[in-house]
Amino acid sequence: MTAEMKILTARFDTEGADRYDGYTDSGGYEAMKKALGMDPADIVETIKTSGLRGRGGAGFPTGMKWGFINREDTPTYLVCNADEGEPGTFKDRELMERDPHSVIEGMAIASYAIGCREMYIYVRGEFGYAARQMERAVAEAYDKGVLGRDIFGSGYDLDMIVHRGAGAYICGEETALLESLEGYRGQPRLRPPFPAQKGLYQRPTVINNVETLACVPHIIEKGSDWFRGIGTEKAPGTKMFSLSGDVERPGNYEVPFGTTARVLIEELAGGVSGGKKLKAFTPGGASSTPIFGADKLDVSMDWESVQAAGSLLGTGAMMVWAEDACILRSMLRFTHFYAHESCGKCTPCREGTYWLEQMFVRLETGQGRDEDLAIMMDVQGNIGGRTFCALGDFATAPVISSIKIFESEAREHIKKKGCPFER
C-alpha cells in the first residue's frame, strides 16, 4: 500500500482533465455551485473549522485570513500567489499545468466568500506553459459561464486576470507581489497595515498560495470534518512534497501531513540515487530551513514536528544530497541566489548576502581560514531578524546548514585547501 493520498493531484494522470469538460466530468465546479448557494460567512466558517493552513510557506490559518476581510468595504480583492520560485519547489507549477480549473474554482469560492468581484493570479514570468494553461482555462471558464456575469444564475459577477511576473523571487513575498502587481519594483511594504486592511490598490485583499486555494473546493464539497480527519491535528489535510536532487524518482508526492521524511524519500522517491547513502535533505526548500542530516529521516512532515526538530516546513520542497555531494557547494549556490534576489531595500540583506557569497567562494576554492567560519556566523546573525521581510532570515539558512550543521566538512575545505568532494 502506498503512502500517497491523491486529492489535489487526483486528476494529474487523467488525459484531458486540464480542460473544462474533463474537469467537470470528474466533479469539477460542483463545489462552486454549492458555495454560491451558501452564505459567504458560512464559507469562511467552514474553512476556519477545517483547519486549512497556507501552503506557501508560513502555514497561516486560511479561514482566519479570510475572516479579517470586511465584505462591506468594497471593492475587495483576491490574489492568488503563483510566483513559485523557492528552490526545489514545483508543486504550484504542476497544479496549474495539470489541473488549472481547480485553481480557478478555489479562487472563485474564496472570492465569493470575501465579496471580491475581480480576482488576480500572479504567475511567475518564467512559467510559460503553466500561465498558458491558466489562460486557456480562464477563457473556457468565461465561455461556460463559470466566470463573468450572473454565474450559475446566482447574481454573482466575477472576473479574473492572469498577470505575469517578470523574474524576481521576492515577488513571492505577498506585499512585494502587490507592489509588482501595481506596477512598481517588487519591494516589500511596511506592515501594518496588513493586506487584509490595505492591500491591492489600498483595498482589503486576501493573498493565498495556489496549493492552498486548490484545497478549498474539496473542503466545500466534503466538509471540514472530512478534511480534519486527514493529516495531524494541527496540520489537517494533505501536502504536496516536491522531491528532487539525489533521488531515484524526483517528483511531487501528495501525502497526509505527518508522513515521515523517510517514507517520502525512501518509498515514494525511490531512495537515494544509485543506492548511495543519504547525507542531507531540506525539509522545505532553501529558505529559512537549515538542512537535516540523515538522523532526521523519521521526523514527521508537518509544521510543528519539523520546527521542533530545528527547521521549518516551508513549501515542502525536499532536496536530497547523497553522501558524495558537497554541502558547501550547494550552500554557496543558495547564497548566490539570495544575493541575486535581495531587493536591495535593507542594508543587512543587500550587503550581508553579497559578503557571505564572497566568503563561501573563498571556502569552496580552498582559500578559507579557520576564523572565517566565526565571521560568517556573525554576519548571518546580523542579517536574521534585522530586515524588512523574511528574505533576510532565509539567507541565514545556508550558513547555519554548512558552517554549523556540517562544520566538519567546512573545516575539511580549509584543512585540505580545496573541496574534498567530486560533486
Site residues (vs another protein, CB under 8 A): 75, 84-90, 92-94, 97, 118, 124-129, 131-132, 135, 138-139, 142-143, 147-149, 159, 161-169, 180-186, 201, 242-246, 250-252, 317, 319, 321-322, 325, 329-330, 333-334, 337, 340-341, 343, 423
Instruction: Answer for the pair 236, 228: CB distance below 8 angstroms, yes or no.
Output: yes
Nearer to another protein, 213 or 280 (CB): 280
Q: How far is the CB of 149 from another protein (least distance, A)?
A: 6
Distance of alpha carbon 97 from alpha carbon 6, whole angstroms: 16
Q: How far is the CB of 375 from another protein (least distance, A)?
A: 24
Nearer to another protein, 45 or 266 (CB): 266
Distance of alpha carbon 340 from alpha carbon 229, whole angstroms: 42
Nearer to another protein, 98 or 413 (CB): 98
DSSP strand pairing (238-245 vs 251-256): antiparallel
Other Cβ atoms less than 10 A from the Cβ of 281: the count is: 26
Q: How far is the CB of 136 from another protein (least distance, A)?
A: 9
Other Cβ atoms less than 10 A from the Cβ of 26: the count is: 16
Distance of alpha carbon 125 from alpha carbon 123, whole angstroms: 6
Q: What does DSSP assign to residue 265?
A: I
Q: How far is the CB of 400 from another protein (least distance, A)?
A: 16
Instruction: Answer for the pair 235, 60: CB distance below 8 angstroms, yes or no.
Output: no
Nearer to another protein, 185 or 417 (CB): 185
The 3-state DSSP composition of the chain as helix, strand, coil percent (nearest 5) reads 45, 15, 40
Nearer to another protein, 24 or 273 (CB): 273
Nearer to another protein, 94 or 173 (CB): 94
The cell numbers describing 246, all together, are: 539525489
Q: Which helix (H) or strand (E) holds 254?
A: strand 251-256
Of the candidates 380, 383, 379, 376, which has an alpha carbon nearest to the alpha carbon of residue 413? 376
Distance of alpha carbon 45 from alpha carbon 270, whole angstroms: 40
Q: How far is the CB of 343 from another protein (least distance, A)?
A: 8
Q: How far is the CB of 331 from another protein (least distance, A)?
A: 9
Q: How far is the CB of 423 from another protein (least distance, A)?
A: 7
Q: How far is the CB of 95 from another protein (least distance, A)?
A: 12
Name residues whose C-beta falls within 8 Å of residue 308's C-beta, 6 or more positions apart in sequence.
Answer: none
Q: How far is the CB of 88 from another protein (least distance, A)?
A: 5
Q: DSSP string covering 17-77, please?
A: TTSHHHHHHTTTTHHHHHHHTS-HHHHHHHHHHHT-B-TTTT--BHHHHHHT--TTSS-EE
Distance of alpha carbon 382 from alpha carbon 389, whole angstroms: 14
Beta bridge partners of 148: 158
Nearer to another protein, 89 or 353 (CB): 89
Nearer to another protein, 151 or 235 (CB): 151
Q: How far is the CB of 94 from another protein (least distance, A)?
A: 8
